[in-house]
Chain A
Amino acid sequence: MKCQDTYWEDLYEGFEIPSLTKEATTRQLVQYAGASGDFYEIHYDKDFAVSTGLSGVIIHGALKNAFLGTLMTDWAGPLGILRKLSCQYRGMDYPDQSLSAKGTVTRKYQENGRFLVDCDIHLENSSGEITTPGTATVELPCRNSAS
């Protein structure tokens, strides 16, 4: 994880957030099932997953949501605060495949004394397909802020 701070005034629309690469193993899916309490068998029982028409076990949507959370909180740094995080699961993702979490600043603004940026974020698979698009809003510190 990144420990340096991200400051609001250094950002601009189009700024690219440092990307993050994740590769979930089946073991991690079991670990996530235990930690989250989501024991739906499509995430660790291949026979079951295939019987429901999937080609194999799939990554929990909520784990992909968590990867996008880490993308934002790593970048925002210890002084940043995640205010909004949203994503849609448009495509299935499978274990042992590389996933890249990426994001771009789309709006920089102040609201109620807060210094905020909105971002488009997504996960893409190794073929470059966006399986999980989303958005996020982060509150960041501002060096010149009087508050």
Chain B
Amino acid sequence: MTLSYSDCRLCPVLQGARRLSTPSSFLTESMIQQAIGAKSHPINTVIEKGAIRRFAEAIGDSNPLYIDEVVARSSIHGGIIAPPTFLRSAGTVRPEIPFEIPFDRLLDGGSSWEYHSDIRAGDIITAVGTVTDMSERSGRVGLMIFITTEIRYTNQFEELVATQVNTTIRY
């Protein structure tokens, strides 16, 4: 019996069936080698003051550097900056992996950020993601594919402002 994974997502009754249909292995060494180095298209985002404010409110951070122009201007930053994880809102990079991964479910495994320069209101940030690792592991929920992507964020002056290494789990 062939089950479409996307159908399963819509029909909880099939969840058990999907579990049984989970393969014990999916990735081959050659697939991993094909995936590593896969790049996304660049995504450009204009960093808007209003978006920074809404993001700061959403994470419950009242730091005036994100919302108060007067305080931010007299700070070491010289103007409004974005919170450390604000770049999560700068689009989702999708590296072009040359094969389909037949799992719909997604979990975020974690992120590792490095900051080189402020992200300022008014900046234009370009994000490019590159797959740096891919692996699989069997767990309680069946087979899981771990995809590590390094996202480099540069500003309009072509300065590297930040990198984020993110692990996504597909299962």
Contacts and interface: CB of A to CB of B under 8 A. Distances in A.
Classify chain B's interface size.
Answer: 35 or more
Contact of B58 (A32, A50, A89): A32
B102 interface: no
Contacts of B85: 62, 65-66, 69, 85
B109 interface: yes
B59 A67 contact: yes
A70 B85 CA distance: 10
Query: DSSP majority for the B interface?
Result: mixed
Interface stretch (B22-30, B32-40, B86-94, B121-129): B86-94
A31 B57 contact: yes
A89 B83 contact: no
Nearest to A2: B63
Given A35-B54, A73-B84, A78-B75, A83 B115 contact: yes
A114 interface: no
Interface residues of A, number: 39
A61 B108 contact: yes
A62 B57 contact: no
Contacts of B59: 32, 35, 63, 66-67, 69-70
B115 A65 contact: no
Nearest to A37: B89
Given A32-B59, A63-B59, A73-B61, 6 more contacts: A1-B64, A31-B58, A37-B89, A38-B88, A38-B92, A66-B88
Interface of A: 1, 22, 28, 31-32, 34-38, 40, 50-53, 60-63, 65-67, 69-70, 72-74, 78-79, 81-89, 134
